[in-house]
Amino acid sequence: MMRLFLTGGTGFIGSHVLAAALAAGHQVVALRRTSQSAAVIPLPCQPEWCEGSLASIGPSQLVGVEAVLHLAAAGVSPKRVSWAELVEANVDGSLRLLELAEAAGVRRCVVAGSSHEYGNAARRYAAIPPDAPLEPLNAYGASKAAGFQLLRAFAIEQGLELFYGRIFTAYGEGQFAGNFWPSLRRAALAGEDFPMTSGRQISDFIPVAAVAAHLLQACRRDDIGAGVPLVTNVGSGVATSLLAFAEAEWERLRATGRLLPASLPDRPDQIERYVPDLRRLRIPASPRS
């Protein structure tokens, strides 16, 4: 078992990583903003909570930690924040955390990236490789890409073991209600019709439990060398259209309403195919490995 320090433990993906880590018997120190903040899904037990922001983390909180899991981020869609907040959390806060980890003797850092970092470069690939150019098209993607460049260079210079996983379309319990899958599920369970776009965009939809398993596995992977960051995509390996995904979920949820594709307009700048190359991603033994 390991002693882990985790940020973002009350967020969507972070809550699932926290639950999986606790279920596996790891000791987890988890950062949350206030004592009222809670994970968005039930936990098997409580971690050792510490309160504050990325800027308030102190060296003492990382003593004895074997791996840092950095999942906190500002501006995750569809939530919008200012450019200053994006830089504070996704760039400055992320770099400061790795600096503290290095000073405390933590050797392994696992950081959640975003497929939004690729942006316009996705148009040139049937499957986007992890070393594709970063050409973000939104503020969130730009801040994550900027943070990545700093974290990667810092890990190389300081000899840290860095796993950086760019997550594609995660979905599941606890996701923000305004996202596609929670909206679809709500309509299905309520017996309502569900208006949507044409759904022709091809993407990779991955259950959040699988994302959590990959990130937790990265704490122990033996192919991450000191000063040699491992950058990978995190996805299911199944390319499917948004409409096909919606139809499969609609059937699984036994919805009685109707899916209404093309009743909403597509985005004019939509990238028609946004699929990851997963050659550097290992398959975890189980969602709790």
Tokens 């979920």 label which residue? 249
Digit-coded pLDDT (tens) for 56-86? 999 999 999 999 999 999 998 777 899 999 9
CB-CB contact of 31 with 9 (8 Å)? yes
Number of domains in the chain: 2
Q: What is the mean pLDDT of residues 220-248?
A: 97
pLDDT at 282: 84
pLDDT at 268: 87
212 and 251 housed in the same domain: no
Q: What is the mean pLDDT of residues 266-276?
A: 93
Rounded CA gap, 254 and 256, in Å?
6
Backbone CA torsion sign across 104, 109, 114, 118: positive
Taking all residues of the chain, what is their mean pLDDT, rounded to a whole number? 95
Q: What is the mean pLDDT of residues 223-242?
A: 97
135 and 226 housed in the same domain: yes
Amino acid letter at 120? N
CB-CB contact of 128 with 118 (8 Å)? yes
Q: What is the mean pLDDT of residues 191-199?
A: 97
pLDDT at 79: 78
162 and 108 housed in the same domain: yes
HSE (side-chain half, CA atoms, 13 Å) at 22: 21
Please indicate, yes or no, if residue 79 is contained in any of the structural domains: yes
In the 8-state DSSP scheme, what is residue 93? I
283 pLDDT higher than 80: no
pLDDT at 289: 35
The angle subtended at Cα 271 by Cα 267 and Cα 272, nearest 5°, is 100
Structural domain range at position 256: 180-202+238-260
99: domain CATH number is 3.40.50.720
118 and 144 housed in the same domain: yes
pLDDT at 191: 97
Digit-coded pLDDT (tens) for 161-184? 999 999 999 999 999 999 999 999
